[in-house]
Amino acid sequence: MVTGPRVGVLALQGDFREHLAVLAGLGADAVPVRRERELDLVAGLVIPGGESTVMDKLSRAFGLRDPLRARIAAGMPVYGTCAGLIMLADRVLDALPDQQTLGGLDVTVRRNAFGNQLDSFETDLAVPLFGGPPVHAAFIRAPVVEAVGPAAEALATLDGAPEGASGRVVAVRQGNLLGTAFHPEITGDTRFHEHLLSLL
């Protein structure tokens, strides 16, 4: 019997199943969220990787955008990976003309900052917040944080990654919001998900 907190994973598009598996493995009552009534029942949320433009359109089509913005503004803990980071960013440099974000993170991001699927890579990142060994991170058509506003905090930067990427911010937090440009759910490192659960 699951006794942990109920945590949702936005399941409109993207790799939501992987996040559900990680959260369930950590003892959470992990549930997919596609409707406002499902959002109302969770204490925290993961916004997965995928296509941020598609996720934006679907969140509006499913009537989730405004309820999501309201819960984020009210302090619900949320973790966004890759496209999820874009969805949480206040500013997107190369957004499509009609693209909207949920906002909440005082950061400026650039979509697909490292090129296409063939330019995906993995690297180890120092994350002082966690201490211990580095986080093994997978970057797949990943965004990058180009600017961190005064309300947000950088948690990790690229070092020794592809040429020109060094020093670029790839993990941030602000209050109960957490965002990474990479996919820890596919490399087996659960510390970001554990941190989300610690906020509940």
State yes or no: is 38 an active-site residue: no
Q: Which of 19, 36, 38, 82 is catalytic?
A: 82
Q: What are phi and psi of 21, to 5 degrees?
A: -65, -45
Distance CA 172, CA 145 (A): 8
Q: Which of 36, 185, 194, 195 is catalytic?
A: 185
Distance CA 182, CA 83 (A): 9
Determine if residue 116 is left, alpha or beta; phi over 0 gives left, psi from -120 to 50 gives alpha, anything else beta. beta
Classified as helix, coil or strand, 105 is strand
State yes or no: is 183 an active-site residue: yes
Supply angle C-alpha 98, 70, 93, rounded to 5.
Answer: 35
H or E segment and range at residue 197: helix 191-198
Q: Which of 183, 193, 194, 195 is catalytic?
A: 183
State yes or no: is 136 an active-site residue: no
Q: Which residues are catalytic?
A: 82, 183, 185
